[in-house]
Amino acid sequence: MESDPTLLRRITRDPKFCDGRAAVRDTAISVAQIVQALAAQATEPELLAKHTALEPADIRAALLYAARVVRS
């Protein structure tokens, strides 16, 4: 399994993507979208099918990022 720093490198903030909000690897898929989908009971396979650019590690990275933001 990837370490925390390695996972967090998958999360980027760039004004060209998602209006500068935290996103997965410079895509239009925001951390908020992933967390909201999981909160609405979407499964990992559903997310991966809907967003073909996503990888399983991206979902873990988004959750780790969100946990760190909430904790601070």
- What integer pLDDT is reported at residue 47 of this predicted model? 97
- What integer pLDDT is reported at residue 1 of this predicted model? 57
- Residue 17 reports pLDDT greater than 90: no
pTM here is 0.89
* Structural domain boundaries enclosing 17: 4-71
Q: How many residues does the chain have?
A: 72
CATH number of the domain residue 34 falls in: 1.10.10.10
Domain tally for the chain? Answer: 1
* pLDDT, tens only, 22-43: 999 988 999 999 999 999 999 9
- What integer pLDDT is reported at residue 11 of this predicted model? 97
For residue 48, what are its two tokens? 């991966």
